[in-house]
Protein backbone atom coordinates (compact mmCIF):
# COMPACT_ATOMS: atom_id res chain seq x y z
CA UNK A 1 0.00 0.00 0.00
CA UNK A 2 1.45 3.45 -0.97
CA UNK A 3 2.62 5.68 1.86
CA UNK A 4 1.39 9.25 2.04
CA UNK A 5 2.83 11.10 5.02
CA UNK A 6 1.52 14.51 6.09
CA UNK A 7 4.81 15.99 4.87
CA UNK A 8 4.59 14.45 1.39
CA UNK A 9 0.92 15.44 1.15
CA UNK A 10 1.76 19.03 2.11
CA UNK A 11 4.72 19.10 -0.30
CA UNK A 12 2.51 17.96 -3.17
CA UNK A 13 -0.28 20.39 -2.24
CA UNK A 14 2.06 23.39 -1.98
CA UNK A 15 3.89 22.43 -5.17
CA UNK A 16 0.64 22.09 -7.10
CA UNK A 17 -0.58 25.43 -5.74
CA UNK A 18 2.46 27.24 -7.15
CA UNK A 19 2.36 25.14 -10.29
CA UNK A 20 -1.29 26.02 -10.94
CA UNK A 21 -1.13 29.77 -10.32
CA UNK A 22 1.07 30.26 -13.37
CA UNK A 23 -1.24 28.74 -15.99
CA UNK A 24 -3.87 31.51 -15.68
CA UNK A 25 -1.07 34.08 -15.74
CA UNK A 26 0.30 32.66 -18.99
CA UNK A 27 -3.24 32.51 -20.39
CA UNK A 28 -3.81 36.17 -19.47
CA UNK A 29 -0.65 37.13 -21.34
CA UNK A 30 -1.44 35.09 -24.44
CA UNK A 31 -4.98 36.50 -24.51
CA UNK A 32 -3.53 40.02 -24.67
CA UNK A 33 -1.19 39.17 -27.55
CA UNK A 34 -2.00 38.84 -31.23
CA UNK A 35 -1.19 35.62 -33.07
CA UNK A 36 1.87 37.35 -34.57
CA UNK A 37 3.05 38.71 -31.21
CA UNK A 38 2.96 35.19 -29.71
CA UNK A 39 5.72 34.25 -32.17
CA UNK A 40 7.63 37.56 -32.04
CA UNK A 41 11.14 37.28 -30.60
CA UNK A 42 12.66 40.23 -28.72
CA UNK A 43 15.98 39.52 -30.45
CA UNK A 44 17.89 36.65 -32.07
CA UNK A 45 19.09 35.35 -28.68
CA UNK A 46 15.62 35.20 -27.12
CA UNK A 47 12.53 33.08 -27.51
CA UNK A 48 8.97 33.96 -28.38
CA UNK A 49 6.04 33.28 -26.06
CA UNK A 50 5.11 30.43 -28.41
CA UNK A 51 8.57 28.89 -28.03
CA UNK A 52 8.39 29.24 -24.25
CA UNK A 53 5.01 27.50 -24.09
CA UNK A 54 6.27 24.62 -26.25
CA UNK A 55 9.36 24.48 -24.04
CA UNK A 56 7.28 24.38 -20.85
CA UNK A 57 5.18 21.53 -22.24
CA UNK A 58 8.31 19.60 -23.20
CA UNK A 59 9.96 20.16 -19.84
CA UNK A 60 6.87 19.21 -17.84
CA UNK A 61 6.35 16.11 -19.96
CA UNK A 62 9.99 15.02 -19.69
CA UNK A 63 10.38 15.61 -15.96
CA UNK A 64 6.97 14.92 -14.43
CA UNK A 65 5.05 12.72 -16.85
CA UNK A 66 8.05 10.68 -18.01
CA UNK A 67 10.48 10.97 -15.09
CA UNK A 68 8.13 10.88 -12.11
CA UNK A 69 5.28 9.10 -13.90
CA UNK A 70 7.52 6.52 -15.59
CA UNK A 71 6.17 7.14 -19.10
CA UNK A 72 8.35 7.05 -22.25
CA UNK A 73 10.47 10.16 -22.85
CA UNK A 74 9.32 11.53 -26.22
CA UNK A 75 10.67 15.06 -25.86
CA UNK A 76 12.23 16.82 -28.88
CA UNK A 77 13.75 19.81 -27.09
CA UNK A 78 15.38 21.47 -30.12
CA UNK A 79 11.99 21.66 -31.87
CA UNK A 80 10.60 23.71 -28.97
CA UNK A 81 13.06 26.49 -29.75
CA UNK A 82 13.26 26.23 -33.54
CA UNK A 83 9.50 26.69 -34.10
CA UNK A 84 8.70 30.08 -35.60
CA UNK A 85 4.95 29.68 -35.82
CA UNK A 86 2.58 27.05 -37.05
CA UNK A 87 0.64 26.78 -33.80
CA UNK A 88 -2.26 29.06 -32.87
CA UNK A 89 -2.72 30.72 -29.49
CA UNK A 90 -5.67 28.41 -28.88
CA UNK A 91 -3.58 25.30 -29.64
CA UNK A 92 -0.68 26.45 -27.43
CA UNK A 93 -2.94 27.17 -24.46
CA UNK A 94 -4.80 23.90 -24.89
CA UNK A 95 -1.53 21.95 -25.07
CA UNK A 96 -0.25 23.73 -21.96
CA UNK A 97 -3.47 23.11 -20.01
CA UNK A 98 -3.56 19.42 -20.96
CA UNK A 99 0.11 18.95 -20.07
CA UNK A 100 -0.31 20.69 -16.70
CA UNK A 101 -3.43 18.61 -15.90
CA UNK A 102 -1.66 15.37 -16.79
CA UNK A 103 1.37 16.33 -14.70
CA UNK A 104 -0.84 17.32 -11.74
CA UNK A 105 -2.37 13.83 -11.75
CA UNK A 106 1.11 12.28 -11.67
CA UNK A 107 2.14 14.52 -8.76
CA UNK A 108 -1.09 13.86 -6.86
CA UNK A 109 -0.70 10.10 -7.20
CA UNK A 110 3.01 9.99 -6.29
CA UNK A 111 3.56 8.16 -3.04
CA UNK A 112 6.40 8.85 -0.63
CA UNK A 113 8.59 6.10 -2.10
CA UNK A 114 8.25 7.63 -5.57
CA UNK A 115 9.05 11.10 -4.23
CA UNK A 116 12.22 9.77 -2.59
CA UNK A 117 13.42 7.51 -5.42
CA UNK A 118 16.33 8.77 -7.50
CA UNK A 119 16.21 8.57 -11.27
CA UNK A 120 18.05 10.19 -14.18
CA UNK A 121 16.06 12.81 -16.10
CA UNK A 122 17.65 14.81 -18.93
CA UNK A 123 21.02 13.58 -17.67
CA UNK A 124 20.47 14.82 -14.09
CA UNK A 125 20.07 12.53 -11.08
CA UNK A 126 17.09 13.71 -9.05
CA UNK A 127 14.65 12.33 -6.53
CA UNK A 128 10.95 12.63 -7.27
CA UNK A 129 10.89 15.61 -4.91
CA UNK A 130 13.76 17.20 -6.84
CA UNK A 131 11.85 16.67 -10.08
CA UNK A 132 8.78 18.46 -8.72
CA UNK A 133 10.86 21.34 -7.35
CA UNK A 134 12.64 21.70 -10.69
CA UNK A 135 9.39 21.84 -12.66
CA UNK A 136 7.67 24.30 -10.30
CA UNK A 137 10.72 26.59 -10.39
CA UNK A 138 11.18 26.24 -14.15
CA UNK A 139 7.48 26.91 -14.81
CA UNK A 140 7.56 30.04 -12.65
CA UNK A 141 10.76 31.28 -14.29
CA UNK A 142 9.36 31.10 -17.81
CA UNK A 143 5.93 32.39 -16.75
CA UNK A 144 7.81 35.46 -15.53
CA UNK A 145 9.56 35.80 -18.88
CA UNK A 146 6.22 35.58 -20.67
CA UNK A 147 4.76 38.24 -18.36
CA UNK A 148 7.77 40.52 -18.85
CA UNK A 149 7.63 40.23 -22.66
CA UNK A 150 3.86 40.83 -22.62
CA UNK A 151 4.31 43.95 -20.48
CA UNK A 152 6.97 45.24 -22.90
CA UNK A 153 4.74 44.64 -25.91
CA UNK A 154 1.51 45.96 -24.38
CA UNK A 155 2.67 48.50 -21.76
CA UNK A 156 0.00 47.13 -19.46
CA UNK A 157 -0.21 45.99 -15.83
CA UNK A 158 -1.26 42.37 -15.97
CA UNK A 159 -3.18 42.54 -12.68
CA UNK A 160 -1.83 39.29 -11.26
CA UNK A 161 -2.11 40.61 -7.69
CA UNK A 162 -5.02 43.01 -8.11
CA UNK A 163 -7.09 41.19 -5.47
CA UNK A 164 -4.25 40.94 -2.91
CA UNK A 165 -2.90 43.43 -0.40
CA UNK A 166 0.82 43.02 -0.97
CA UNK A 167 1.54 45.49 1.85
CA UNK A 168 0.00 43.20 4.48
CA UNK A 169 2.35 42.46 7.37
CA UNK A 170 3.17 38.95 8.55
CA UNK A 171 1.10 37.52 11.38
CA UNK A 172 3.47 36.24 14.02
List pLDDT tens digits, range 95-132.
Answer: 999 999 999 999 999 999 999 999 999 999 999 999 99
* pLDDT number for residue 7: 80
Domain covering 6-151 in this structure, CATH number: 1.20.120.450
Q: How far is CA 96 from CA 4, 24, 65, 74, 77, in A?
A: 28, 11, 13, 16, 15
* pLDDT number for residue 1: 45
* pLDDT number for residue 2: 52
Whether the pLDDT of residue 79 is over 80: the answer is yes
Amino acid sequence: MPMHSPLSADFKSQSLHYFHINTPRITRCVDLLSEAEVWQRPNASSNSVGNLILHLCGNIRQYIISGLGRQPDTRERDAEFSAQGGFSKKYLLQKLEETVQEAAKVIESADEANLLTERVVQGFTLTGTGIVIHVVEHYSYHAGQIAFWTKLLKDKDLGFYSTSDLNAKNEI
